[in-house]
Amino acid sequence: MSHANSPREWAIDTLCIHAGQEPDPIHGAVMTPIVLSSTFAQDGPAMLKGPGFDYSRAGNPTRAALEACFASLEGGKHGVAFGSGCAATMAILLMLKSGDHVLVGDDVYGGTFRIFDKVMKQFGIEATFLDMSDATKVRAAVRPNTRLVWMETPSNPMLKIFDIAAIAEVAKSASAWLAVDNTFATPVLQRPLQLGATIVVHSTTKYLNGHSDVVGGAVVTDDDAIAEKLHFIQKSAGAVPSPFDCYMVLRGLKTLGVRMRQHVQSARGIAEWLASHAQVARVHYPGLASHPGHALASRQMKGPGGMISFELRGGIDASRAFLAALRVFVCAESLGGVESLAELPAVMTHASLTAEARRALGIGDGLIRLSVGLEDLNDLRGDLEAGFGAALRAAR
Ligand SMILES: *Cc1c(COP(=O)(O)O)cnc(C)c1O
């Protein structure tokens, strides 16, 4: 199997289906085989066969196909797959050393916050959390030992938009790397490496796999030295995905383009409808002209994505009644699957933050986050309408 990266000029819909996935040369299998073998026969001691596999922690044909696909989708040279998004994040941080400093967006995924705030602290790596809306404030927070800048855009759950190109400039002038968590946007809507990021990270659990049946992660970079370090960490620390999970993600990726376009179209429809609803105090969706990051999102992204959050009037009882009444939307954490999900960040995804930190970010008891799936738009709106009815009765 050859896993040479596909031509960069191919459009993303073509890359999703073909990148890293040439028919296998032995049987001509059109779909990538799942190679479960943990070990590979050698022609003699330390004489590896053609593709160079020896042991599946170090490298595996199904994983190699997925890694080539990740690299092509993000327009980078190297893709590295991990057993979860958090393992991908950890692999990046394992390239740092004690005494290094990191700047992190204040509205990052809870598990990412926990890694910086709890795990890395033990190893003498210090993180400063800050709102990255203003690049000059990011520049002012740089220290002589700042090695890495970490951002998510759109952010979670407030859907704030940060300027990747401007923050890439700040990182570059500080000789630091910029890592962008591109889980919410996906390469269909945003390609951070083209905007100057050093590293892109994904929880493939979300849109890339897209069917809520795999936990996985990925890192992509154009930098040969960083890629070599990441492969060394992947092999040494061993947080690798199974060949079966790699196959599942390859299968999910084939429809990424069409899925993302539909997620965007439906989310747009729901966001506009919510914005005019009497029981909604505020909608956070970068596709609305009222969103503070709207102009930047229009420049930086090909579409505002499938995630929405909104403030329901009526307090915690109304929020609980709203979620309990939904039948199409499932009340659950996570996002990016074909099925629509709804959740209450204050008591679910963001419960690990202190009440004060939640207040500072604007995460109140009325904030509801939606991952808009691929069901019929009228059914989705009807379901939310039933939720609003229940919320009204509960608030009375
Ligand atoms: C889910 C998520 C992660 C963590 O990924 P896991 O696959 O759950 O380990 C990281 N970043 C973002 C933005 C996420 O949504």
Q: Can you give the residue ranges of every domain in the chain?
A: 7-253, 257-395
Token couple for 161: 């938009």
CA 22 from chain center: how many Å? 26
Contact 24, 33 (CB under 8 A): yes
Does residue 2 carry a pLDDT above 50? Answer: no
> Any catalytic annotation for residue 8?
no
Q: What is the residue-averaged pLDDT of the chain?
A: 95
Q: In the CATH scheme, what is the code of domain 257-395? A: 3.90.1150.10
Burial code (b: 16+ CB inside 10 Å, e: under 16) for 210-236 equals: bebebbbbbbbbbbeebbebbbebbee
215 CB near ligand 1 (under 6 Å) = yes
For residue 342, count other CB atoms closer than 10 A to its CB.
Answer: 22
Weakest mean pLDDT among 3-12, 119-128, 226-235, 292-301: 3-12
pLDDT of residue 354: 85
Does residue 182 carry a pLDDT above 70? Answer: yes
Centre of ligand 1 to C-alpha 91, Å, is 14
pLDDT of residue 230: 98
Instruction: Give the model's confidence band at 4: pLDDT under 50 very low, under 70 low, under 90 confident, else very high.
Output: low
Contacts of 207 (CB under 8 A, 6+ apart): 183, 184, 186, 256, 259, 260, 263, 306, 335, 336
337 CB near ligand 1 (under 6 Å) = no
86 CB near ligand 1 (under 6 Å) = yes
Does residue 116 carry a pLDDT above 50? Answer: yes
Q: Angle, to 10 degrees, between the axis of helix 243-253 and the axis of helix 61-74?
A: 40
Helices (H), 196-280: 224-237, 243-253, 256-275
Q: Which atom of ligand 1 is nearest to the CA of 112?
A: 10
Does residue 81 carry a pLDDT above 70? Answer: yes
Burial code (b: 16+ CB inside 10 Å, e: under 16) for 133-147 equals: bebeebbebbeeebb
Round the CA-based radius of gyration of the chain to a whole number and report it: 21
Choosing from 181, 222, 245, 365, the catalytic residue is: 181
Does residue 316 carry a pLDDT above 80? Answer: yes
Choose from 20-34, 244-258, 354-368 the range with maximum mean pLDDT. Answer: 244-258
Token couple for 223: 């930098």
Please name the CATH architecture into which domain 7-253 falls.
Answer: 3-Layer(aba) Sandwich (3.40)
Q: Which atom of ligand 1 is nearest to the CA of 183?
A: 13
Instruction: Give the model's confidence band at 13: pLDDT under 50 very low, under 70 low, under 90 confident, else very high.
Output: very high
Token couple for 134: 């203003």
Choosing from 57, 77, 229, 254, the catalytic residue is: 57
pLDDT of residue 3: 53
- What's this model's pTM, rounded to 2 decimal places? 0.96
Q: What percent of the chain has pLDDT over 70?
A: 98
Q: What percent of the chain has pLDDT over 90?
A: 91
Q: Which atom of ligand 1 is nearest to the CA of 111?
A: 4
Does residue 34 carry a pLDDT above 90? Answer: yes
pLDDT of residue 107: 85
Which protein residue has the closest C-alpha to ligand 1 atom 5? 85
pLDDT of residue 1: 42
Instruction: Give the model's confidence band at 26: pLDDT under 50 very low, under 70 low, under 90 confident, else very high.
Output: confident
pLDDT (mean) for 232-256: 98
Distances (CA, A) of 97 to 65, 94, 210, 324: 31, 7, 35, 47
Distances (CA, A) of 53 to 41, 60, 249, 319: 9, 7, 21, 53
Q: What is the pLDDT of residues 197-231, one digit of tens each?
A: 999 999 999 999 999 999 999 999 999 999 999 99
Give the C-alpha separation, 8 to 16, whole Å: 12
Containing 66, the helix (H) or strand (E) segment is helix 61-74
209 CB near ligand 1 (under 6 Å) = no
Task: For ligand 1, pick from 109, 112, 180, 240 the residue to mutate: most ligand atoms within 8 Å of CB.
Answer: 109
pLDDT (mean) for 296-306: 98
pLDDT of residue 396: 73
Contacts of 377 (CB under 8 A, 6+ apart): 266, 269, 270
Give the C-alpha separation, 182 to 214, whole Å: 18
105 CB near ligand 1 (under 6 Å) = no
72 CB near ligand 1 (under 6 Å) = no
Centre of ligand 1 to C-alpha 211, Å, is 15
Task: For ligand 1, pick from 84, 89, 205, 209 the residue to mutate: most ligand atoms within 8 Å of CB.
Answer: 205
> Any catalytic annotation for residue 57?
yes
pLDDT of residue 357: 86
Give the C-alpha separation, 169 to 161, whole Å: 17
pLDDT (mean) for 377-381: 98
Strand, coil or helix: what is 262?
helix
